[in-house]
Structure 1
Amino acid sequence: MQCIIEAEKLYLKDPKINREDVKILQEWLKKQPHLPELEESQVIIFLHSCYYSIQATKATIDSYFTRRSLHPQLFCCPPQELVRENFSVGIKKILPKMTPEGYTILLTGLLDHRPEKYNYNNELLLLNLVYCLHVHKYGFAEGVIVIVDLQGGSLGHLARVNLSSQKCMFEHLQEGMPIRLKSIHVINAVPFMDKVMALVKPLMSSKLFQMVQIHSTLDSLYDYIPRECLPVDYGGEGPSRQAMQEEMIDDIFHNVNFFNWHDLQTVDESKRVEKSNIGGSNFGAEGTFKKLEID
């Protein structure tokens, strides 16, 4: 069955969500033959991510489902063998404890440091699965913080980065993902960090780039994220990375039916009324769909 949070729980979670605005969006969806049918909870989650702007929500919904349909290799749930194999390479997990501000924390990092085991597209795919499942099960958060742990990273890993896929993901993060992104924290920075930043900067909007914080020590990370929110591996009070990884694998396998359902929410371009520029080369221009908050 679909593991989707009930709409009423979301209305209670944030009184700023206007039921009439949701109805307006539902009526708009009925006039968009290229878009899939959405659950009311999904509409609410998108509206919240866009700070209650109806126009931004429309653009974000279109971007989200269009990009998923254009790039199934980055979004659709793969066979269980591939899921388990790639989770053995890196951790991807929403940490169990939120920050005092009500932000969820998404952690990603390497477990297996061998470059030959690293498949960049699969890493992005599993990150999408993890957040997609979380937001559908538990609903929105006031914000999301991303921690990228580069421990074990090498030039061999950097050589395996697919720039086309990374550009798609940056676009998805800013224009389509139902998320209020607050900051991106890079820990255990590699000696060639300048090369990493030079590689990704042209693919990011200026607002997104400004969200990146690079930490030379964990002490500076604690200035942004309390220790009690972090795994014991980082001097925190939460579960270990390995324990959380096993829990995440079980959660994905337990919700295969949800992923199968969500993968069917595709865009039919033959029914699109107006031409789409999603997936074009205009990323980074001012006036992008979603508002990114920089704290």
Structure 2
Amino acid sequence: MEALRDDGFLKFNSDTLEKLRKQYGFDTPARMTEALQILEEWMKKQEHFVKKDFPREYLERILIHNKGSVEKAKKKLDKICTLRTLVPDYFEVKDINELDKTVRDSLMDVLLPTMTPDHSRVCMFKGKDVESNSLIARQYLSLHLATCEYLQYFDYNNGLIYLADWRGGHPVSFSKAMNIADFKIFTDIVLEGFSMRVKGVHFLTDSPVINILVTFVKQFVSDKIASRFHVHTSMDTVYEHIPRHVLPAEYGGKDKAAEDIRDDHIKALSSPEFISLRHEMKGGRTDEARRPKDAFYEQHMGMAGTFRNLSVD
């Protein structure tokens, strides 16, 4: 990959490709080529992989998301292929516009096109003054999984920063509408399958009930990620973590209004190119009959999780 492709939605800094490659040990094209060749040769030897060929741009993004570690990239490739086999319903290619129609009046979940100076991507969530229900919660999960898959194919980032604006929203209603098993699998796919590296999660609200949602979400992530959760009562402290200029206009930023960015986001997720890629990658599964049983039990039997006293009361 000689340059990052402009897909018409996500923007990159002028030096993103060069800086991130160098940051993770790929200071020459030859070093990246060598790492990609190692991954390709390794995939050919995996008898349980149904699909053994992945685009090099896709593999490079997995390497970058895993800080240049070939061994971690191997594990994540195995994980995403296994998840596609064990929980195929979560990878169904659903109508993005229908998903958006269901959740639009209740919440907004959107990628911000402009990168931070350190090449991170911001994902913004906005809870609205509408009570959630189980359908809204399920459709939100499907929409966000599509967003993460889109990032895996088209973005080239140094990690994700989440901003969840719950001012005027109903975080307790959202928590109670969420199916615990669904949310556990969702977090496994996002963090372990799509290799999303979470650098921070920022909740914006002046209501103390946000602690119920924060406690709920923390149960599904590592202690390391949980330590990156922050609650803000105003945008002033948010600006200490997220540069103002990358934010939508109504948040003091220089981009479009959030709803206009949302329309661009949905258009990108609905593009024929992305839909075609999603269908193609559904073939990236495993044949578990061909995997050594000991390896499967060691790596994946805890995938659906045994939960530790999960509660939103």
User: Within 2, Cα distance between the matches of 1:174 and 1:257?
Assistant: 23
* Per-residue Cα deviation, 1:154-206 (whole angstroms, up to 9, x for no partner): 43322111111222233334433233321111112643223223323332211
Paired letter, 1:271 = R
Match of 1:238 in 2: 255
Which segment is superposed worse, 219-228 or 88-97?
88-97
RMSD over aligned CA atoms reads 2.6
User: Within 1, Cα distance between the matches of 2:231 and 2:197?
Assistant: 20
Shift of 1:43: 1.5
Paired letter, 2:74 = K
Match of 2:77 in 1: 61
Match of 2:64 in 1: 48
Give the direction of change, closer, same or farther, for the CA distance of 1:187–1:74 in structure 2 (3 Å limit). farther
Paired letter, 1:70 = L
Match of 2:278 in 1: 259
Conserved? CA contact 1:94–1:131, under 8 Å: no
User: Within 2, Cα distance between the matches of 1:190 and 1:27?
Assistant: 53
Identity %: 22
Q: Secondary structure at the match of 2:160?
A: strand
Match of 1:273 in 2: 292
Conserved? CA contact 1:47–1:54, under 8 Å: yes
Shift of 1:80: 4.6
Conserved? CA contact 2:175–2:216, under 8 Å: no
Paired letter, 2:62 = F
Listed as ranges, the gaps of 5+ residues in structure 1 are 1-6, 285-295
Match of 2:174 in 1: 157
Q: Secondary structure at the match of 2:242?
A: coil
Which segment is superposed worse, 145-154 or 222-231?
145-154
Match of 2:10 in 1: none
Match of 1:132 in 2: 149
Conserved? CA contact 2:96–2:266, under 8 Å: no
Shift of 1:123: 1.0
Conserved? CA contact 1:74–1:121, under 8 Å: no
Paired letter, 1:187 = L
User: Within 1, Cα distance between the matches of 2:304 and 2:174?
Assistant: 28
Paired letter, 2:55 = E
Match of 1:25 in 2: 39
Q: Secondary structure at the match of 2:270?
A: helix
Shift of 1:282: 9.2
Shift of 1:149: 2.2
* Per-residue Cα deviation, 1:60-93 (whole angstroms, up to 9, x for no partner): 1111222233223333321355333235243222
Q: Secondary structure at the match of 1:185?
A: strand
User: What is the 5 A alignment of 1:171-182?
Assistant: 171-182=188-199
User: What is the 5 A alignment of 1:1-295?
Assistant: 7-9=1-3, 13=18, 14-15=21-22, 16-17=25-26, 18=31, 19-35=33-49, 36-37=51-52, 38-80=54-96, 82-88=98-104, 89-111=106-128, 113-116=130-133, 119-138=136-155, 140-151=156-167, 152-188=169-205, 190-255=207-272, 256-274=275-293, 275-276=295-296, 277-278=299-300, 280=302
Which segment is superposed worse, 78-87 or 241-250?
78-87
Shift of 1:117: 7.6
Give the direction of change, closer, same or farther, for the CA distance of 1:81–1:241 in structure 2 (3 Å limit). closer
User: Within 2, Cα distance between the matches of 1:189 and 1:55?
Assistant: 43
Give the direction of change, closer, same or farther, for the CA distance of 1:94–1:81 in structure 2 (3 Å limit). closer
Listed as ranges, the gaps of 5+ residues in structure 2 are 5-15, 307-313
Give the direction of change, closer, same or farther, for the CA distance of 1:279–1:40 in structure 2 (3 Å limit). farther
Structure 2 length-normalised TM: 0.79
Structure 1 length-normalised TM: 0.83
* Per-residue Cα deviation, 1:8-30 (whole angstroms, up to 9, x for no partner): 43696425332212111110000
Q: Secondary structure at the match of 2:3?
A: helix
Shift of 1:234: 1.8
